Structure 1
Amino acid sequence: MDLLSIRLLLDFGLMVLIWTVQLVIYPGLCHYRQEELGKWHSIYTQRIGVIVGPLMIAQLAVCILQLWQEKNLYTWGSLVIILLTWILTFLIFVPLHNSISPDKPCEEITNSLVIKNWWRTWLWSVLFLGSLGLMITDYNF
């Protein structure tokens, strides 16, 4: 399997994951009773981390390999977008997730997660569409 095929699979996996988080998981957090939210959220973040962590690391590694092989708009643009998703994840979303606790109303935090997560949703969607377009057209940007 070539790097572009691997990259397409990683981009697809992260896009599906982020859309699931955006449309199902984040809005669903407030359907837990306040005292159960903290307990469930701790379990959720550990479990989702096992999925998203390796995908994000692999996506970055493959992008760097692609950039090493060929420097073009696609590889440089992909690296910039991937780094933006990392920055958003660790500077905005990790602190937001850490602020979820049983003694705080979840509506405010959940609304903030949903609104801010649109950035990552669009970024990972653009990455997938770029990889798909490159795969379909076999065009080298």
Structure 2
Amino acid sequence: MPLLVVHLAAVWFCVGLVWVVQVLVYPGFAGIDRAAFTEWHDRHTRLMSFVVSGPWAVQGITTAVLLVRRPEGVPFWLAAVAGVCGAATVAVTVLVSVPCHQRLSRGYDDEVLARLVRTNWWRVLAWSAGGVVAAAMVLVAA
């Protein structure tokens, strides 16, 4: 059970963070002074990496462990769905979000920001689904 609780906490930390980013942070990019945007964006990406990297790594490690060794009562398919949700957050981040941030690091761009906000919904959905799956695993193991 401790493994499931650690997994649950890490995933739900990421769920809360991605919702705040989606609803507040990314839309707020449009209100940043254009002359200061590049410096502000670089600080944002550096600090956001610091905030999310630990919990996201814990999510990945606990998911990997759950795929190999699950607590009694937790079916493999739940761990597999958790793995798919986690992999989706990584794939969208690497293939879509990081390139958008790289473009924004060169200067503000309405189209790039709109793409970042629009495609970040994929991460919101994947992390939220992963949070539901993490809660389900705790419930079936209890």
TM-score, reference length from structure 2: 0.90
Output the CA distance in 2 between the equivalents of 1:53 and 1:80: 19
Q: What displacement does 1:137 show?
A: 4.2
Taking only aligned residues, the RMSD between alpha carbons, in angstroms, comes to 1.7
Q: What displacement does 1:103 show?
A: 4.5
2:75 is aligned with 1:85: no
**Is the deviation greater in 129-138 or in 13-22?**
129-138
Structure 1 counterpart of 2:26: 26
Preserved contact between residue 63 and residue 75 of structure 1 (Cα < 8 Å): yes
Output the CA distance in 1 between the equivalents of 2:39 and 2:107: 12
Output the CA distance in 1 between the equivalents of 2:107 and 2:137: 48
Preserved contact between residue 4 and residue 135 of structure 1 (Cα < 8 Å): yes
Q: What displacement does 1:21 show?
A: 0.5
CA 97–103 in structure 1, closer or farther in 2 if over 3 Å, else same: closer
Q: Which runs of 5+ in 1 are unaligned?
A: none
Within the candidate set 118, 131, 134, 1:131 is matched to 134
Percent identity among equivalent residues? 25
Within the candidate set 111, 115, 128, 1:112 is matched to 115
Preserved contact between residue 7 and residue 59 of structure 1 (Cα < 8 Å): yes
CA 51–101 in structure 1, closer or farther in 2 if over 3 Å, else same: closer
Structure 1 residues 64-116: Cα deviation after superposition (integer angstroms, max 9, x where no partner): 11111036101111112211211110111111000014654x32222111100
Q: Which runs of 5+ in 2 are unaligned?
A: none
CA 65–34 in structure 1, closer or farther in 2 if over 3 Å, else same: same
TM-score, reference length from structure 1: 0.90
What letter is aligned with 2:23?
A: L
For residues 38-117 of structure 1, the aligned pairs below 5 Å read 38-70=38-70, 72-101=76-105, 103-104=107-108, 106-117=109-120
Preserved contact between residue 81 and residue 133 of structure 2 (Cα < 8 Å): no
